[in-house]
Amino acid sequence: MTPKSDAIYAAPLEKMIDFQFDERVAAVFPDMIQRSVPGYGMIISNTGILAAKYAQAGSHCYDLGCSLGAVSLAMRQRINQPDCDIIAVDNSPAMIERGRELLARDPVPTVPVTMTCADLQDVNIENASVVVLNFTLQFVPPAQRLTLIQRIHTGLKPGGVLILSEKIAFNEPGRQYFHEELHHDFKRANGYSDLEISQKRSALEKVMIPESLACHQERLQAAGFSFSDLWFQCFNFASFVAIK
Ligand code: GEK
């Protein structure tokens, strides 16, 4: 399985269809996400470090919307607690199939990882010390987000952590423009053309709905988290920790 480079939106499309995590996307996903999300590599490696700090013996760690399992692999390399396991979930069969192949090749199988194809809304979250939503909540319909975060809070053990990374929207037009332009510059610098940037943006419009930093922080508080903070931001991409 050789990783391919992303050219999905390189040619003009006659008809725009909504973005889907299908076989074509799964095949180029590592390249696509690294070239599209500023700080992706840094978020992944530091999620491993956060997981190592908060994982508790005999508990579950969840990677919800795992795609090819980058977060699970980073957590597995860092967690050093007995009897922990990682439950990785994604509702894209293509992602899970490729993710399982990558997992099988991981040279340090210290913490067991199970990868399941399911909707994260149907996953029981229990006895959890670490829950990661790495660029996944933005694909959940906004009206369902508070219930999901509340379910995660309920399933976490005291002292457990939620790590939440998202694309961010800004309410102030000038601020939105500033960050969005820089994100487009980031994509151009990574070899995407203006056509690719605009076609992908149209495909994602109805599927991925970013919210403001304040909206995320208020929801974390409303769900019962006693502490939450922003630990990473680059342009319009951010990551929070919330501790129960
Ligand atoms: C990474 N976390 O590499 N249930 C399960 N999975 C879902 C759902 C759902 N309801 N909705 C979307 N997904 C990864 C990157 S990508 C982010 C996450 C991006 C899955 C979807 O199939 C996809 O694999 C993932 O969430 C979002 O750290 O591409 O911007």
Residue 16 domain-assigned (yes or no)? no
Instruction: Assess if residue 51 is contained within a domain.
Output: yes
pLDDT of residue 80: 94
- pLDDT below 70 — which residues of the chain? 1-3, 9, 11, 19, 108
User: Tell me, what's the pLDDT at 161?
Assistant: 98
**Ligand 1: does its nearest atom lie under 6 Å from the Cβ of 36?**
no
pTM of the model: 0.95
Domain extent, residue 68, equals: 40-169+208-243
Confirm whether 73 is domain-assigned.
yes
Task: Report the pLDDT value the prediction gives residue 33, as an integer from 0 to 100.
Answer: 94
Q: Which residues contact 223 (CB under 8 A, 6 or more apart)?
A: 146, 149, 150, 152, 153
**Domain membership flag for residue 44:** yes
In a domain, 202, yes or no: no
Give the mutation target among 22, 23, 125, 139 for probing the ligand 1 site: most ligand atoms within 8 A of CB: 139
In the chain, how many domains are there? 1
Angle at 87 between CA 81 and CA 89, to 5 degrees: 155
Cβ of residue 48 lying under 6 Å from some atom of ligand 1: no
